[in-house]
């Protein structure tokens, strides 16, 4: 096991710079997830940790060793990719043991390691099967088995679940988390799925355009997003954003949207007249008789809850409530915003106020 330290990492392809000075400290045994929209540099950063991409600037160390100039095979890492192609003509045991075999490890050692990894991954009964005789989730576990047998200092995962259907993804999320608890190995995991990030990570690194936007524990990012981007990226359904400014009325601060809606805020955060973005998560709005009158556009019942798409004056607003509703589109609903859960961002910089 080992800590991973990423210091001022820069990546250029020719003249195009795609990673702009990234700093991340990953503790020994930590499960860190890199998230961000497509093209933000997640895979590039992971591949630099793995040694599959040259580093244009900065330093990466694994354990107490700077690895910039160390070959991938000598970095003591194991990587699982999105396209984890198994060898079709090798059975599960041989797929899992192959990397050890090409390193010339003795057969007894390979067998023991494969057996142990198979137990951990619940593959013991499938060792003689061929990839085409396995389900998607079982194949995914074999791909992880290949990484586990190497007993690396660090696991690197690049969107390992994105080829699986929704139900299997949920199951594999739990399995990967259990695997981490059991092995305690440092994991750096890339995904663009913020739910995966929220549910598995000890620490999330939110990236955009080759830069780190914020680093924190999942619920920290959810509760205290540092800017509009992180606020909009973390949480599902996404936070509502309404543009407007803060004003004072009868000694109390209120938010007035550009289109004239008045919404509640806790005083003292922003200055009167300051142009801001008002953020409220759909789950922090409920239905109450003293709520603000809104007009329902669409209702989406999921069984356990109802997502309400509504208009508050001219502003679109979504709410998620536990109630089952029978309002028709065009009907009125009274939405109460929990003002303690309101986030205010500066309109110019996007930073949290
Ligand atoms: N070999 C390359 N040559 C030039 N540009 C590249 C190369 N590989 C990646 N890029 C660019 O670097 C940027 C980061 O790519 P990267 O693959 O790291 O994104 P990502 O965050 O993993 O995205 P995704 O979620 O789509 O996998 C992108 O703009 C991409 O076009
Ligand atoms: Mg990628």
39-92: pLDDT as tens digits: 999 999 999 999 999 999 999 999 999 999 999 989 999 998 877 789 999 999
Q: Tell me what percent of the residues of the chain surpass a pLDDT of 90.
A: 81
89 and 145 housed in the same domain: yes
Nearest atom in ligand 1 to 47's CA:
18
Domain-located, residue 37:
yes
Nearest atom in ligand 1 to 44's CA:
18
Nearest atom in ligand 1 to 210's CA:
14
Domain-located, residue 256:
yes
251 pLDDT more than 90: no
222 and 249 housed in the same domain: no
Distance in Å, CA 103 to ligand 2 centroid: 29
163 pLDDT more than 80: no
- The residue whose CA is least distant from atom 18 of ligand 1 is 41
Distance in Å, CA 38 to ligand 2 centroid: 7
For the chain, the maximum distance between any two Cα atoms, rounded to a whole number of angstroms, is 81
> What local confidence, expressed as pLDDT, does residue 36 receive?
95
Going from the C-alpha of 106 to that of each of 100, 103, 142, 153, the distances in angstroms are 8, 9, 21, 21
181 and 322 housed in the same domain: no
Q: Average pLDDT, stretch 237-257?
A: 94
201-240: pLDDT as tens digits: 999 999 999 999 999 999 999 999 999 999 999 999 999 9
Of the pLDDT bands very low, low, confident and very high (cuts 50, 70, 90), residue 167 is confident
150 and 299 housed in the same domain: no
> What local confidence, expressed as pLDDT, does residue 196 receive?
93
266 and 200 housed in the same domain: no
Distance in Å, CA 13 to ligand 1 centroid: 10
Nearest atom in ligand 1 to 46's CA:
18
CATH number of the domain residue 11 falls in: 3.40.50.300
Distance in Å, CA 10 to ligand 2 centroid: 17
Domain-located, residue 352:
no
Contact 246, 272 (CB under 8 A): yes
Least confident of 81-85, 93-97, 99-103, 215-219: 81-85
172-189: pLDDT as tens digits: 888 889 889 988 999 999
284 pLDDT more than 80: yes
> What local confidence, expressed as pLDDT, does residue 85 receive?
81
> What local confidence, expressed as pLDDT, does residue 82 receive?
77
301 and 228 housed in the same domain: no
276 and 176 housed in the same domain: no
Distance in Å, CA 70 to ligand 2 centroid: 23
Q: Tell me what percent of the residues of the chain surpass a pLDDT of 70.
A: 100
Whole-angstrom Cα distance, residue 142 to residue 262?
56
Q: Is the CB of 12 under 6 A from ligand 1?
A: no
- The residue whose CA is least distant from atom 27 of ligand 1 is 38
103 and 225 housed in the same domain: yes
Of 173, 208, 233, the one marking the end of a domain is: 233
Distance in Å, CA 155 to ligand 2 centroid: 16
188 and 52 housed in the same domain: yes
- The residue whose CA is least distant from atom 30 of ligand 1 is 39
- The residue whose CA is least distant from atom 1 of ligand 1 is 13
Q: What is the mean pLDDT of the chain?
A: 94
CATH number of the domain residue 264 falls in: 2.40.50.140
94 and 180 housed in the same domain: yes
> What local confidence, expressed as pLDDT, does residue 127 receive?
96
- The residue whose CA is least distant from atom 4 of ligand 1 is 13
Domain limits for position 69: 4-233
141 and 175 housed in the same domain: yes
> What local confidence, expressed as pLDDT, does residue 66 receive?
97
- The residue whose CA is least distant from atom 22 of ligand 1 is 43
Domain-located, residue 182:
yes
Domain-located, residue 351:
no
- The residue whose CA is least distant from atom 12 of ligand 1 is 18
Q: Please choose, from the candidates 311, 301, 307, 347, the residue with its C-alpha nearest in 3D space to the C-alpha of residue 332.
A: 311
Q: Average pLDDT, stretch 118-127?
A: 91
Q: What is the pTM of this model?
A: 0.92
Q: Average pLDDT, stretch 237-247?
A: 96
Return the SS3 of 344. Answer: strand
Q: Phi, psi (5° rounding) for residue 74?
A: -100, 10
286 pLDDT more than 90: yes
Q: Is the CB of 83 under 6 A from ligand 1?
A: no
258 and 327 housed in the same domain: yes
Of the pLDDT bands very low, low, confident and very high (cuts 50, 70, 90), residue 267 is confident
The closest ligand to the CA of 41 turns out to be: 1
């Amino acid at each position: 096991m080992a800590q991973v330290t990423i210091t001022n990492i820069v990546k250029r392809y020719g003249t195009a710079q795609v990673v702009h000075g990234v700093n991340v400290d990953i503790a020994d045994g930590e499960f860190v997830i890199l998230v961000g929209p497509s093209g933000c540099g997640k895979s590039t950063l992971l591949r630099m940790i793995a040694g599959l991409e040259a580093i244009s600037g900065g330093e990466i160390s694994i354990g107490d060793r700077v690895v910039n100039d160390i070959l991938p095979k000598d970095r003591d890492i194991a990587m699982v990719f999105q396209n984890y192609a198994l060898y079709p003509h090798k059975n599960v045991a041989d797929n899992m043991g192959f990397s050890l075999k090409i390193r010339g490890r003795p057969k007894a050692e390979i067998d023991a390691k494969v057996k142990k990894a198979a137990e951990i991954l619940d593959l013991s009964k499938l060792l003689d099967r061929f990839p085409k005789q396995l389900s998607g989730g079982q194949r995914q576990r074999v791909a992880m088995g290949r990484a586990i047998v190497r007993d690396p200092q660090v696991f690197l995962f690049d969107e390992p679940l994105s080829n699986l259907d929704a139900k299997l993804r949920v199951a594999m999320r739990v399995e990967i988390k259990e695997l981490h608890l059991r092995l305690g190995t440092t994991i750096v995991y890339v995904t663009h799925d913020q739910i995966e990030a929220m549910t598995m990570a000890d620490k999330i690194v939110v990236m955009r355009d080759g830069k780190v936007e914020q680093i924190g524990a999942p619920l920290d990012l959810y509760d205290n997003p540092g800017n509009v981007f992180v606020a909009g990226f973390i949480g599902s359904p996404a936070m509502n954003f309404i543009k407007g400014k803060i004003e004072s009325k009868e000694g109390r601060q209120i938010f007035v949207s550009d289109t004239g809606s008045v919404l509640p805020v806790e005083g003292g955060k922003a200055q009167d007249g300051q142009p801001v973005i008002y953020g409220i998560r759909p789950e922090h709005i409920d239905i109450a008789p003293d709520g603000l009158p809104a007009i329902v556009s669409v209702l989406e019942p999921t069984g356990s809850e109802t997502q309400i798409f509504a208009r508050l004056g001219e502003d679109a607003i979504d709410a998620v409530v536990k109630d089952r509703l029978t309002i028709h589109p065009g009907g009125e609903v009274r939405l109460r915003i929990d003002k303690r859960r309101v986030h205010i961002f500066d309109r110019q910089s996007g930073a949290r106020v």
